[in-house]
Amino acid sequence: MILELKNLKKYYATQKAVDDISFSIEPGSIFGLLGPNGAGKTTLLRMITGIFYPDEGQILFNGKPFNAEKDIEHIGYMPEERGLYKKMKIGEQALYLAQLKGLSKERAMVMIKEWFVRLEMETWWNKKVEDLSKGMSQKLQFVTTVLHKPKLIILDEPFSGLDPVNSNIIKEEIFNLAKGGATVIFSTHRMEQVEEICDQIVLVNKGKKILDGTVKEVKQQFKQHLFRIGFDTMPALNDHPSFDIIKQNNEHLLTVRIAEGQSPNDVLNYYLQQDASIISFNEVLPSLTEIFIQLVEGTPGARQFQNVNA
Amino acid sequence: MFFNGKARSVGAKRIEVQNFQASPSNTNTSFNFIAMNKTWIIIKREYSSRVRKKTFILSTLLTPLLFIAVIAVIAIITIKNIKEEKIAVVDGDGILQSSLENSKSVRYDFTAGIDTGNFAAKGYSAILLAPRTGINQTDNFKIITEKSLSRFADDRIRKDINRALENKMISQELKVDPKRIDSIKNRAETVAISTTKRGEDGNMKESNLGVASAIGYVTGFLIYITLFIYGVMVMRGVMEEKTSRIAEVIVSSVKPFQLMLGKIIGIGAVGLTQFLIWIVLIGIMSAVASSLIPPEVLLQVQQSQQGMPGGSEGSSDAIRTLASAQTTLSSINWPLVIGCFLFYFLGGYLFYASLFAAVGSAVNEDAQDAQSLSLPITLPIILAIFIMMNAINDPGSSLATWSSMIPFFSPIVMMARVPFGVPDTVPYWQLAVSMILLVSGFLFTTWLSAKIYRTGILSYGKKPSWKQMIQWMSR
């Protein structure tokens, strides 16, 4: 395990920002940390990056207790609230941030050049940050985050403000880094990206972990035994003990829920006996968005302030 | 400051050892080295990004020019102001005749036919009417002017009349040649009188209160101004990092304390650089300027500043004053004054800069918030300048003594006292207590500010209340 969190707690004066969260991340995986606004994601990430100390609990990095001063060089963190020195030249800025990560000047220069060529940023060196568009500075930020070849890369909302083309470029780079052995923690509330990118997800809400697993597992866990059947011509719609018809999508598609203890074969058998001409049959798994809404719904949209006696 | 080359090379060796052996016993030292090295990187950025700015270069080069220009303008105005005033004298009884002496600024004319109606038209700036009631009734002199005379000329005329009457009376009543009296007076005046004070060790030391208070004023004000300029520079630097949202990116690489310390030290170095450049530039420029000004003009300036009587005698007086000023300047303990100045500049800067950093971290873009929150910091600085003015008049008073030991005021107030002499005016124990308190003071403010800073730079939204900031401190 590259990272293990054990019963992590961080209380503020009016909030239990992180309330007893544990999970672990395997090396080389892309890990999604999900949750609504104010769920405690940023606080959690700040503890993992050594910016905050947890009130209670333990962080293990590479199997050893997390030592911020030493391990920080193996972590690349792109916070949600991110920026750069506006008046500083881009090349110098990248060099500065790389040196703060412990890279020597010479090594940093090699790495910067490599990345700048890769992302077609060679002409940027002497420009200032204030000359960049939002998407361009986002790209620069990504480069400065991963420049020192961190083992653990933490990206908080990395695609906010990026157009689809640049989003794809960054997404490709994230895949490449993971292939190269880096672990990526990816925090967002944009579920469609998570579904596309992440191997494993954790969902937090109000400081607590409410879901943990691979995307596939989570979908299985929340599946509602829904199947979609495509017909050449719609058969008669009769109820049957082994399934309920949930909805007729159009003239050719039917969504059914299979009753407890029954299998898809029962449904297929029924329609085959009816001589219906089936052209497709597939399971409908819930999207992460649906799961997210289902889990988070009902809790107040914004966190309420509460008194914490910690 | 703490990062001399020796310490770094030791650290560098350690880290190599650690790479090969990975021995845990060395880890602590090498991590301190990493921390120091990163602080050093931050210091370098803070320093070079400011020193390369156009505003820095311009202000550094232009300030001494401005300084010289102001002095030159004052000198020129003073010289221009000493224009000759022609005064017509109506002196029926001849009281003043032959005893009023012309000087550079005033010329008397006894031409007949001038009256109060036509003096202006004939080119005189004033007419002096002497009474016709005899020499002993001297309250009836009248000066009538078209435009009011300069105070300088007015004084001159009064003194000339007094002197003329005096001479007349001496020669008439004592039957003595006034010139003999003058020469006796001159001989008596040339006796040098210096105020001396008995030091604790029994040695007599010469002191010159004027020079000491001038040095006190200049150094005290310099520290006052630089505390503000560089303190606010630190505050705005922190605000920039917070509003541009780079703070969180950086504190994921270094500790907030390192970021704060790096900024404070970097900007302090900018301040020292500016001082050094100014000292060198002012030295060069004043050397060049004094070689350009003809010596007669310098003498004139000297005379007019001193208000010396009579042109020819005045010049020797001026030279005497210059010579005595030089001796008193050399009697000041310059290494002590300069040493104290650098110490109190750095100490005061470190004391206040960290507080300014804390304020900068607590506020957001809003300049008004920054102003209201920094008021409790600027207030003691302003108070200190008032105490300093008091301390210059009475450097031994209990107000001066005590506030020169309180770190909030000591950088400014102590600089007003030190030129008056150590250990006579400022005993060694007071200097020691003041310095120790200032050092522990800035260690304390840095520690306290770091606590506010590390929470402040990461909290966005509205300005925190005092209660919240106290909570941050205790966290």
Would you call A49 and B31 a contact, using CB atoms and an 8 Å cutoff?
no
Read off the pLDDT band of B289 (50, 70, 90). Answer: low
**Residue among A77, A83, A88 minimizing CB distance to B252:** A77
State the Cα–Cα distance between residues A302 and A22, nearest whole angstrom: 23
Nearest 10 degrees: CA dihedral of B193, B199, B205, B206?
A: -50
Contact A100 B31 (CB under 8 A): no
Chain B positions in Cβ-Cβ contact with residue A96 (cut-off 8 Å): 41, 45
Q: Taking CA A226 as the corner, what is the angle to CA A221 and CA A228, rounded to the nearest 5 degrees?
A: 140
pLDDT at B322 over 80: no
Instruction: Give the tens place of pLDDT for each residue, A42-92.
Output: 888 888 888 888 888 888 988 888 887 788 888 999 988 788 888 888 999
Of the candidates A143, A107, A101, A148, which has an alpha carbon nearest to the alpha carbon of residue A122? A143
Pair type for strands A183-188 and A152-156: parallel
CA distance B51 to B48: 5
CA distance A105 to chain B (A): 11
- Which of A15, A96, A100 to mutate: most B Cβ within 10 Å? A100
Question: What is the nearest CA distance from B19 to chain A, expressed in angstroms?
Answer: 13
Gap from A144 CA to chain B (nearest CA, Å): 10
CA B160 to chain centre: 37
Q: Are B445 and B354 in contact (CB under 8 A)?
A: yes
| Whether A81 and B245 lie within 8 Å, measured CB to CB | yes
Q: Select the residue of A51, A70, A83 nearest B31 (Cβ to Cβ).
A: A70
Q: Tell if the CB–CB gap between B34 and A88 is shorter than 8 Å.
A: no
Q: How close B5 gets to chain A, by Cα (Å)?
A: 17
Interface of B with A (CB under 8 A): 27, 31, 34-35, 38, 41-42, 45, 49, 240-241, 244-246, 248-255, 458, 460, 471
* Chain B residues with beta carbon closer than 8 angstroms to that of A87: 49
Q: pLDDT (tens digit, 9 = 90+) per residue, A153-175?
A: 999 888 887 888 888 888 898 99
Distance of CA B387 to the CA centre of its chain: 15
Helix ranges (H only) for B22-53 are 27-51
**pLDDT value for B73:** 86
Test A101 with B253 for CB contact under 8 angstroms: yes
Distance CA B82, CA B304 (A): 8
Q: Is this complex's ipTM strictly greater than 0.90?
A: no
Does residue B20 have a pLDDT over 70? no
pLDDT tens digits along B169-221: 787 788 878 778 878 877 777 665 655 555 444 343 445 677 788 888 888 88
- Higher per-residue confidence, B243 vs B322: B243
B252 contacts A49? CB cut-off 8 A:
yes
Q: What is the pTM of this model?
A: 0.73
Distances (CA, A) of B33 to A126, A301, B46, B254, B450: 31, 47, 20, 13, 20
Segments in B394-409 forming alpha helices (H): 398-403
Question: What is the structure's pLDDT at A17?
Answer: 83
Asked if the Cβ–Cβ distance from B251 to A97 is below 8 Å, we say no
pLDDT higher than 90, residue B243: no
A77 with B249: Cβ contact below 8 A? yes
Weakest-pLDDT range from A27-36, A97-106, A258-267:
A258-267
Q: Tens digit of pLDDT for each residue in A109-137?
A: 999 999 999 888 888 888 888 888 888 88
Q: CA nearest B239 in A: which residue?
A: A85
Nearest residue on chain A to B258, judged by CA atoms?
A100
pLDDT digit string, tens, across residues B245-274 = 888 889 888 888 999 999 999 999 998 898
> Does A303 touch chain B if contact means CB atoms closer than 8 Å?
no
The number of helices, as runs of H, and strands, as runs of E, in chain A is: 10, 14
